[in-house]
Structure 1
Amino acid sequence: MSSVQPDSIPLQHSSTWTIFLVFLRLGLTSFGGPVAHLGYFREEFVNRRRWLDEAGYADLVALCQFLPGPASSQVGIAIGLLRGGYRGSLAAWAGFTLPSAIALMLFAFGIGSWGEAVPDGLLHGLKIVAVAVVAQAVWGMARNLCTDGTRITIALLAACAVLALHNAWAQLGVIVLAGLAGLMLFRPTSKGSLAPHQGRQGRSVAGLFLLSFFALLMALPALTAASSSQLLALFDTFYRAGALVFGGGHVVLPLLQAEVVPNGWVSNDIFLAGYGAAQAVPGPLFTFSAFLGGSIGTGSADLINAAVCLVAIFTPSFLLVFGVMPFWDRLRANLRVQAALGGVNAAVVGLLLAALYDPVWTSAIFGPVDFALALVALVALMVWKLPPWLVVLVGGLAGWAIAAVS
């Protein structure tokens, strides 16, 4: 990557190695899906390390809800970008993504038979902990971003709308409507303190990233049609999956299934087995691409295909985040944009509240014992201030123990 830094990067930087280690720990312990990941990120970067304030974090979440691809991974890439430039964003992505990608590649290579041996009770305990993580994030963000009756109303309406309509486009529509409501209802009086800019160079480079995103989207299908290269076909397939899908990993699965199964790259049984294994690992579900790539070909081609598919599906996220972030930070200085963000941030709280119920609560809480374990995990996070990784570990073991005695 170029050494040029985007003009939205603040003066406070962290070393690339520090960023990698922080995200590696999250990549090893962040179970529960994208909404839970946002809760882990908030706890780590807003509460613990104070790399961002509450409003800045909510702005990043709102921005990434607008972009296609995996929202939680894009938030991680953006945080890495803010703290360490392009190298920091790569370090953040590698730390958060590689643990699950490597595990799924090993599973694809036939070394990962452990995936079927993971006790159901252990996985269920991890899902219960995710309820507590998301509940903590909703409560903390609501206290800081829903400070009056108008904002609380926007959050509740957003939650109700998403639960009623239940699709990714509804989320985008809710954010747009909340921004319009904020523009009409709120009147910010101060521009606040934003990071200094470094001139036009950062915006020019950002424009090249956005141009590259669209150029690849249009050129790859034509290049694939004119070539017999399987690697190019794989890159095209997984790039389009990462570039055109809103709503995260679960939404991309039908698209990938329609591409890789009819082509004969992966059988439907192998596809479903890999999807099941993907539920047992932490980190982003988009690392399922590494399993699919690793299931194609023989010998050393397995590793090459897995790497190509993994890089291809995340490349749009990098190009979009690198391209949008400098302009986003400048827009935040505008008072009218700040008014709109007041509504958007309240809506983000509502989106998280809706996700707390479905899918987080509905997939984890099946009875009084589950509810009790979720309450204990929530108290451990919010009152006892135990580190999230420890709560994850204990919650998984508790779920396994409960399943063993029931």
Structure 2
Amino acid sequence: MSTSPLTVFLVFLRLGLTSFGGPVAHLGYFRADLVERRRWLDEVMYADLIALCQFLPGPASSQVGIAIGTIRAGLLGGLAAWLGFTLPSALIMIAFAYGIALLGDVAGSGWLHGLKVVVVAVVAQAVWQMGQRLCPDRLRASIAVIAAVILVIWSDALVQLLVIGVGGLIGWRLLQFQTNSNSVIKSPIMPRIGMLFGLLFAILLAGSLIITSFGGNPTLTLLAGMVRSGSLVFGGGHVVLPLLEPVVVGGDFMSAETFIAGYGAAQAVPGPLLSFSAYLGAVASAYPAGWVGGILALVAIFLPSFLLVWAALPFWATLRARPDAQAALAGVNAAVVGVLLAALYQPVITSAIRGPFDVALALGSFAALHLWRIPPWAVVLLCALIGGFGWSGQ
């Protein structure tokens, strides 16, 4: 039974306003509303969509939403699902960018320092959870550690790509998988249209790599960096941190303090973490900045997700039956854990931790998130308040 794109938009708008807690929590909200309550799809199809979106690079929860919207209402339904789920957090992050601009130089402010410290806990929790899930054996744990060591020493964006690629190659050659080929996804997209979307993705990614390599126009360089980052977010939204930092901080579009502050604020809003890009586009020094720049950056970072989902839907049953594809993905995911572990050191810890009090606040925040299961938005606000009321960090 089909659904109108407007209905899809309204349903996902509600989810975008209430889905706190990150990608895993988002998938729980989706299941409760779309599987149990509305019965838009059954448990088996929902699990199959999650498997597909975890196989692809990109933000898994947003891609699951795009896939569900596409199955219910075609390509417009996929667009409507993404727009409804992403719009609330994107608007909040753009508003935060305007707040940063109005406040002027906030580099030494206490509340900003509190946001930077809580990011240490957030990323540490992501590394811990992803490591347990994606590195369950010695080989994959070794891939992650070696990747982290390489990237701590050489943090160049090209080295990140090489590390991820080598991880996939090692997984393909050395890991063994048995896969279930009983896929139940019924795609509304014809295979030849899916191939066209795949070609568009390849052209878009190649163009972004060329633009970011040779530079030139600052606006195009920034947007190309967003496209490249959105194309390579394996393993969860937190991986976008080390992908975007060389683009916006290394490209002199903003300071590291401004970058980390936005990332901290993104933990306190509902919806997808990649809405962080709207903040970056709005606060960047490149034209047009402001709300127009925020929208452009948001579209640029999510565009690969649409193309990948629409390209893969018609072929998922065949791809899922290939053990070598699953093995390569497992190696890629292990390398991604190493990428995020390196990012925990640089830029997160190096820009946030200035003394023993910061270490104590970061450890307390980690315990609040990981042990006591306090919602991330509450921990973020608490750390900002602690910083605002005079936490010295010394």
- What TM-score, normalized to structure 2? 0.68
The question of 1:183 aligning with 2:172 is answered yes
- Structure 1, unmatched stretches of 5+, are 6-13, 30-39, 65-70, 220-232, 258-270
- Asked if structure 2 preserves the Cα contact closer than 8 Å seen for 1:275 and 1:288, the reply is no
Give, in angstroms, the shift of residue 337 of structure 1. 0.8
Give per-residue Cα distances to partners, 1:147-173, cap 9 Å, x unaligned. 221221111111112222212222221
Q: Tell me the residue number matched to 1:162.
A: 151
SS state of the match for residue 386, structure 1? coil
Give per-residue Cα distances to partners, 1:331-364, cap 9 Å, x unaligned. 3431111122222222222222111122212111
Q: Tell me the residue number matched to 1:44.
A: 25
The question of 1:317 aligning with 2:304 is answered yes
Larger radius of gyration: 1
Question: What aligned pairs does 1:29-68 form with structure 2 within 5 A after superposition?
Answer: 41-45=22-26, 63-64=56-57
Q: How far apart, CA to CA, are the structure 2 residues paired with 1:175 and 1:55?
A: 25
- Asked if structure 2 preserves the Cα contact closer than 8 Å seen for 1:208 and 1:323, the reply is no
Q: Tell me the residue number matched to 1:284.
A: 276
Question: What aligned pairs does 1:70-219 form with structure 2 within 5 A after superposition?
Answer: 74-75=59-60, 77-85=62-70, 86=78, 87-104=80-97, 106=98, 113-114=102-103, 116=105, 120-191=109-180, 194=183, 196-199=184-187, 201-210=189-198
- Asked if structure 2 preserves the Cα contact closer than 8 Å seen for 1:123 and 1:399, the reply is yes
Q: How far apart, CA to CA, are the structure 1 residues paired with 2:286 and 2:138?
A: 52
C-alpha distance 60-374 of structure 1, shift in aligned 2 (>3 A): farther
Q: How far apart, CA to CA, are the structure 2 residues paired with 1:275 and 1:354?
A: 18
- Structure 2, unmatched stretches of 5+, are 33-42, 71-77, 208-216, 233-241, 267-274
- Asked if structure 2 preserves the Cα contact closer than 8 Å seen for 1:290 and 1:307, the reply is yes
- Asked if structure 1 preserves the Cα contact closer than 8 Å seen for 2:9 and 2:81, the reply is yes
What one-letter code is carried by the residue in structure 1 that aligns with 2:155?
H
- Asked if structure 2 preserves the Cα contact closer than 8 Å seen for 1:121 and 1:403, the reply is yes
- Asked if structure 2 preserves the Cα contact closer than 8 Å seen for 1:155 and 1:347, the reply is yes
Aligned length: 341
C-alpha distance 59-123 of structure 1, shift in aligned 2 (>3 A): farther
- Asked if structure 2 preserves the Cα contact closer than 8 Å seen for 1:241 and 1:256, the reply is no
- Asked if structure 2 preserves the Cα contact closer than 8 Å seen for 1:209 and 1:320, the reply is yes
C-alpha distance 46-129 of structure 1, shift in aligned 2 (>3 A): farther
What one-letter code is carried by the residue in structure 1 that aligns with 2:276?
P
SS state of the match for residue 113, structure 1? helix
Give, in angstroms, the shift of residue 186 of structure 1. 1.6
- Asked if structure 2 preserves the Cα contact closer than 8 Å seen for 1:157 and 1:350, the reply is yes
- Asked if structure 2 preserves the Cα contact closer than 8 Å seen for 1:162 and 1:171, the reply is yes
Give, in angstroms, the shift of residue 389 of structure 1. 0.8
- Asked if structure 2 preserves the Cα contact closer than 8 Å seen for 1:175 and 1:344, the reply is yes
What one-letter code is carried by the residue in structure 2 that aligns with 1:317?
P
SS state of the match for residue 284, structure 1? helix
Question: Which of 382, 385, 389 matches 1:397?
Answer: 385
C-alpha distance 240-348 of structure 1, shift in aligned 2 (>3 A): closer
What one-letter code is carried by the residue in structure 2 that aligns with 1:138?
V
- Asked if structure 2 preserves the Cα contact closer than 8 Å seen for 1:154 and 1:346, the reply is yes
Give per-residue Cα distances to partners, 1:343-391, cap 9 Å, x unaligned. 2222222222111122212111121111111111111111111111111
SS state of the match for residue 186, structure 2? coil
C-alpha distance 177-360 of structure 1, shift in aligned 2 (>3 A): same
- Asked if structure 2 preserves the Cα contact closer than 8 Å seen for 1:79 and 1:89, the reply is no
What one-letter code is carried by the residue in structure 2 that aligns with 1:97?
A
What one-letter code is carried by the residue in structure 2 that aligns with 1:250?
E
SS state of the match for residue 166, structure 1? coil
C-alpha distance 357-314 of structure 1, shift in aligned 2 (>3 A): closer
Q: Tell me the residue number matched to 1:344.
A: 332
C-alpha distance 356-293 of structure 1, shift in aligned 2 (>3 A): closer
- What TM-score, normalized to structure 1? 0.66
What one-letter code is carried by the residue in structure 1 that aligns with 2:66?
L
C-alpha distance 100-153 of structure 1, shift in aligned 2 (>3 A): same
Give, in angstroms, the shift of residue 84 of structure 1. 3.4
The question of 1:251 aligning with 2:246 is answered yes
What one-letter code is carried by the residue in structure 2 that aligns with 1:357?
Y
Identity %, equivalent residues = 29
Give per-residue Cα distances to partners, 1:179-218, cap 9 Å, x unaligned. 1211222221232765x23257254443444455678899
Q: Tell me the residue number matched to 1:262.
A: none
- Asked if structure 2 preserves the Cα contact closer than 8 Å seen for 1:179 and 1:340, the reply is yes
C-alpha distance 402-178 of structure 1, shift in aligned 2 (>3 A): same
C-alpha distance 48-167 of structure 1, shift in aligned 2 (>3 A): farther
- Asked if structure 2 preserves the Cα contact closer than 8 Å seen for 1:293 and 1:308, the reply is no
Q: Tell me the residue number matched to 2:313.
A: 326
C-alpha distance 296-97 of structure 1, shift in aligned 2 (>3 A): closer
Question: Which of 374, 383, 388 matches 2:362?
Answer: 374
